[in-house]
Amino acid sequence: MSLQQSPFARKLGAFVALSGEELSALDRLHSRRKTFPAGRDMVHEGQVNQSAYILASGWVCSYKLLSGGTRQIVDFQIPGDFLGLRSVLFRTADHNIEPVTKVEASEVLVEDLLATFGKTPRLGTAVLWAASRDEAMVVEHLVGIGRRDARERTAHFLLELGARLKLVGLGTALGYACPLSQYMLADALGLSAVHINRVLRELREDGLVTFQHGKVEIHDLDGLVLLADFDRHYLDHDGPLLK
Amino acid sequence: MSLQQSPFARKLGAFVALSGEELSALDRLHSRRKTFPAGRDMVHEGQVNQSAYILASGWVCSYKLLSGGTRQIVDFQIPGDFLGLRSVLFRTADHNIEPVTKVEASEVLVEDLLATFGKTPRLGTAVLWAASRDEAMVVEHLVGIGRRDARERTAHFLLELGARLKLVGLGTALGYACPLSQYMLADALGLSAVHINRVLRELREDGLVTFQHGKVEIHDLDGLVLLADFDRHYLDHDGPLLK
DNA sequence: CGACGGGACTGATCTGCCTCAGTTCACGAT
DNA sequence: ATCGTGAACTGAGGCAGATCAGTCCCGTCG
């Protein structure tokens, strides 16, 4: 275990216990560091031959635009997350990617990735697991939008985000820094910004969570978990699954 | 090209042009044929060490149950689709799978799958593409539930289903057989069955589609595409992408 | 300094969809 | 023939969340 792990290494380490050799193989993937300013799209839907990225710092969101001008945010990515894996496989991006904050990311060439997996197959397993978890999150998101009301949905979202951030060392069970505006929350949760605002006020007045000044503070974890019908296990585990 | 291709071979063939050798490697995956009656779950959420399946005939749906008793159908699978790939990777199923009709499916052991990919890597590519397309469909579904109204959502769903069925030779641009009840449609689209019924009536009265007696008939394809904001390209293509 | 702009926040009104409570019809079992 | 069941279908009434039209606050820029 090194003192200063990258969020990516930290996240994969939660799935598969990593050796020193595997950790340095990961480090080598981080050579082509790039930065992106907040707000200007990194990837547009339809673009071909995009690179994949590993997010080192900052937040981004993946979204789709509809003809009516509305948008749906599919997911947020936080440090340690893989970006645009599907777009690479498919050769053409099927969604837009916008940095929420200033972002640092490592460009990953497919050939480097495959070579790394060839030499250290357990890393391949770990990345596959991480990708499966991301897919599971999209599914959970779908379920939430389809069948949970605004309060439940918001509560679930904040809990899930907290669990993800905790995994990469950017938050605790009690709170975390969150650069999202209420507009972005609305676009992610399929609600209007006006309604998000009221829901956040309700959750605050009920003593469950506050989300103000870029900080989420969880005041009643059990109450929130109950409201959201949140499965603590599906993101949460202590120690790697594969030793 | 064999005369009688399985739906799975037909679908993969749309992504990657397959040689005779590759086709027979596919056939060998179909040895452990099983059948399942309609209505009784094949897989329950939380089950461990499930097999994966390739659907040979019949329809199934993947869904999640919420604490309130409601359910959200995440996706339907039709012949040629892969079943439970994520559950296998993750070792434990994160959703339920219920046959909509009587179903025939080939059980696929992970080791057989990996061995096949080792010998015929282009098949691996094709399966990966198919999996990416499935993931893209879940994303599109999410967008629909989040930001499309009931009419658009229903129209989009019927078009997408048609495109998928056409790919495996079970439908045309004008219509297809569809064993889904309005209740299932409701659970998939995040609506009530009552409302689905009214929406279907409206679409029928507007001369766009009819869905009656297990048959979907598209009467005004352009109108429907326009209403649904349907991207004809993302599922539709003539001839394999990789020669 | 004042102007400007973007985010948080609010009240009033409207509406899409849900819920409840049915009816009708087709079909399989008794 | 009758019963039961499950799917399609309908009307009435209610409500969650959208939309409209703002105000207030704060940070930034000329």
Closest to B36 (Cα-Cα) out of B113, B110, B107:
B107
Identity of residue A120: T
Q: Rg of chain B's alpha carbons, rounded to an integer?
A: 18
* A196/A234: higher pLDDT: A196
Distance B25 CA to C28 C1' (A): 44
Return the residue of B nearest to A127 by Cα: B89
Q: How far does A89 lie from chain B, in Å, by closest CA? A: 7
pLDDT at residue A88, rounded to an integer: 81
B163 vs B175: CA distance, rounded Å: 10
Best residue of A64, A97, A143 to probe chain B, by most B CBs closer than 10 Å: A143
C1' of D14 to CA of B190 (Å): 20
Q: Do the chains contact at A142 and B143, CB–CB below 8 Å?
A: no
pLDDT at B106: 95
Q: B118 vs A109, which has greater pLDDT?
A: A109
pLDDT given for residue A89 in this prediction: 77
* Tokens matching residue B238: 């003539």
Burial of A111 (0-12, 13-18, 19+ CB in 10 A): exposed
| Residue showing tokens 């037909």 | B10
Q: Which nucleotides of C are covered by protein (CB under 7 A)?
A: 6-12, 16-21
Residue B123's pLDDT is: 86
CATH number for the region B7-129 comes to: 2.60.120.10
Question: A161: distance to nearest CA of chain B, Å?
Answer: 18
Mean pLDDT of B32-49: 91
Is the pLDDT at A114 greater than 60? The verdict is yes
Flag if A147 and B190 touch (Cβ within 8 Å).
yes
Lowest-pLDDT choice from A151-155, B30-34, B84-88, B174-178: B84-88
Reported confidence tier of residue A219, pLDDT bands at 50, 70, 90: very high
- In this prediction, residue A103 has a pLDDT band, given cuts at 50, 70 and 90, of very high
**Strand C contact at CB of residue A199, distance < 7 A:** no
Measure, in angstroms, how far nucleotide D15 C1' is from residue B191 CA: 15
Domain ranges of chain A: 7-129, 148-228
| Distance in Å, alpha carbon of B232 to nearest chain A alpha carbon | 13
Using DSSP's 3-state secondary structure scheme, residue B202 falls into helix
In angstroms, the Cα distances linking A1 to A6, A8, A10, A79, A190 are 11, 14, 10, 19, 41
Q: CATH number for B148-228: choose from 2.60.420.10, 1.10.10.10, 3.30.70.20, 1.10.3720.10.
A: 1.10.10.10
pLDDT at B236: 64
What's the CA gap between B71 and A235, in Å, rounded? Answer: 21
Q: How far is B220 from B231, CA to CA, in rounded Å?
A: 16
In Å, what is the separation between the CA of A6 and the C1' of C7? 32
pLDDT exceeds cutoff 60 at B2? no
Task: Give the model's confidence band at B234: pLDDT under 50 very low, under 70 low, under 90 confident, else very high.
Answer: low
Helix (H, G, I), strand (E, B) or coil at B87: helix
Contact A163, A171 (CB under 8 A): no
Confidence of residue A199 (pLDDT cuts 50, 70, 90): very high
* Neighboring chain A residues of B231 at a CB cutoff of 8 Å: none
Q: Do B142 and A138 touch (CB under 8 A)?
A: yes
B140-176 as b/e: b if 16+ CB within 10 A: bbbbbbbbbebbbbbbbbbbbbbbbbbbbebbeeebb
Does the structure show a pLDDT above 60 at A3? no
Does position B146 have pLDDT exceeding 50, yes or no? yes
Q: How many CA atoms lie within 13 A of B139 on its CB side?
A: 24
- Chain A, nearest residue to B143 by Cα: A72
* Substitution target from A76, A147, A191, A233 for chain B, most B beta carbons within 10 A: A147
pLDDT of residue B116: 86
pLDDT in tens, A37-57: 999 999 999 898 888 999 999
Spatial distance from the CA of A179 to the C1' of C8 (Å): 14
Q: Is A172 exposed, middle or buried (0-12, 13-18, 19+ CB in 10 A)?
A: exposed
User: Which site among B82, B134, B147 would you substitute to test the A interface, given the most A Cβ atoms closer than 10 Å to its Cβ?
Assistant: B147
- Closest nucleotide to residue B199 (Cα to C1')? C17
Mean pLDDT score across all residues of chain A: 90
